A = this chain, B = another copy of it.
Amino acid sequence: MKVTQGVSKVTKLDAQLSVFSLGGINEIGKNMYVVEYANDIIVIDCGSKFPDETLLGVDLIVPDITYLLENSDRVRALVITHGHEDHIGGIPYIRKQINVPIYATRLTLGLIQVKLREAGLLANTKLIEITSDSKIALGGITSTFFKTNHSIPDCLGVVFHTPEGAVVHTGDFKFDLTPVNNQYPDIHKMADIGSKGVMLLLSESTNAERPGYTPSESQVGKHIEEAFHKAKQKVFIATFASNVHRLQQVIDAAQATNRRLALLGRSMVNVVRIASELGYLTLPDGMLVEAAEIGSLASDRVAILCTGSQGEPMAALSRLSRSNYRNVEIHRGDTVILSSSPIPGNERNVSKTVDHLFSLGAEVIYGSSSVTGMHVSGHGSQEELKLMLTLMKPKYFIPIHGEYRMLHQHRILAESVGVEPANIFILNNGDVVDIKEAAATQSRKVTAGNTLVDGLGDVGNVVLRDRKQLSEDGILIVFLLLSKTDGKILSGPDIISRGFVYVRESEDLIDRASILAADTVNRLQSGQEPLNQWNVLKMNVKEVLGRFFYEKTGRRPVILTIITEI
């Protein structure tokens, strides 16, 4: 690993170092970054993200990996920094298109295995377990790792040592100096990496807008235990299943208050199983209790750990709040804790859940976590981002993992600790930074974008545009039968609609439209020669009916005219 130190002017290769993202820049979600040197490509993370409400019917978004497919012979590895959905959620989809060895720590691999097994891809995927001490040499790139601290255990930052210098990817991190379960960040190792020289740093920007320092996860445990002590009946607590540190603190609070613990929600059950099997979660014997048994226990001897902290309509908490969960009920006087903050976009669903919980008579602990103490972020705030930049002392810097304003604020932070303004790159996904002889340039682009997963396949823009119009004003279908001989109407026009107007109340409207369509066709067909250009006929019917319905209803449905000739 002799070439890893600082700016390696000794190596005069024709090859260059290139770095870019295929997902994760100008967005939160679907992280995927690429480090490329000469003949070798290493991919970092393979995340998914959820569509917003404009992407009608889309289930999931994963990165467009056209570039990787075009260069598949050079892709050596997929390295995963940690087990969150925005870093591993795309694996089953991408794995169908490209099969490369996946490197990750033990817990991360455990979570990936669940996904691959569900997709029937586990047997044919090479999974390689690493630790923060591993060293992987693949062609011209040697990767080493350092431990970071985040809202899931077993997180890594990665150093890519190349003849052009070291590239550091932080993964997601905070600097929690009093972490749960000894998941300490590897500050000494980071300092050492920085001392030896970092050509390029990619660092996450999630909390770049937040001043100060993110509180320690261990602070949350105290508040949870206090609430468990105070509660006179059952306690329900909802949090992200993947936050194993939080789960540990809930388990500890249950033990301290002599309560047994039930788990609700598939992902909660899965994560607790995997994390305790792999030793990341300490679960006292006999603590767990089945949901069906809750009713038979004294109400002050049981706690329920569940999914749904974002108000997701199908998750456990939301169903409990609507009294719609088999075997488990929230009673007047029970305590419900939301150990979370709403992710932007989820505020309404969370509020609705709280409304329902109050209407059941529950004591609900919700709202700003700075007031309740029931949640802390897993991402470092401004002072922590500055600490990472200071430890790494990079020559070049790319803020990643954030929307534009976060990248922008991260840039300002980097400048404040001495990174040259001209050496900071605010990119889009697909923008390539090339480094050669210690000089970085950004001028070229590779294909990058969203692959929209709906059901089993992907969907395109035409389909989405149609769905949008259908969703707004519905569809109207006009069908008629024309004579082959003289082009006259044999049957119809008949009109049916969906999502447009309630037909029983609008029969008259539809009847008049039908007459109008017939008049239009008759007028066009009564010329010297009947039109056999159906497109013209269709266009005319569409135009006449479009105008008619807009006048009468103010709506613009999709209008389809179907003509059969006989």
Contact = CB atoms under 8 A, between A and B. Distances in A.
Interface of A: 26, 52-53, 56-57, 209, 344-345, 347-348, 351, 354-356, 358-359, 364, 366-367, 403-405, 408, 454-457, 459-460, 462-464, 466-475, 477, 479, 481, 490-492, 494, 496, 498-502, 505, 550, 552-555, 558, 560, 562, 564, 566
Contacts of A554: 454-457
A501 to B, nearest CB: 7
Contacts of A344: 347-348, 351
A467 B463 contact: no
Contacts of A364: 405
Given A348-B345, A564-B564, A466 B460 contact: no
Contacts of A553: 455-457
Q: Name A's interface SS.
A: mixed
Given A404-B359, A502-B460, A477 B474 contact: no
B57 A562 contact: no
Nearest to A359: B404
B405 A467 contact: no
A270 to B, nearest CB: 22
B564 A491 contact: yes
Total copies of this chain within the assembly: 2
A487 to B, nearest CB: 16
B477 A562 contact: yes
B479 A479 contact: yes
A388 B488 CA distance: 75
Contacts of A26: 355
Contacts of A57: 471-474, 499, 555
Given A52-B348, A554-B454, A477 B358 contact: no
Contacts of A562: 477, 479, 494, 496, 562
A456 B403 CA distance: 39
B404 A500 contact: no
A564 B454 contact: no
Given A57-B471, A57-B472, 16 more contacts: A347-B347, A354-B405, A356-B404, A358-B408, A455-B555, A457-B501, A457-B553, A457-B554, A460-B505, A466-B499, A470-B474, A477-B560, A491-B564, A498-B558, A564-B564, A566-B566
A499 B481 contact: no
A517 to B, nearest CB: 15
Contact of A404 (B355, B366, B468, B552): B355
Contacts of A490: 566
Contact of A479 (B456, B460, B472, B564): B564
Contacts of A474: 57, 463, 466-467, 470
A72 to B, nearest CB: 22
A454 B479 CA distance: 26
A555 B463 CA distance: 13
A165 to B, nearest CB: 29
Contacts of A209: 367
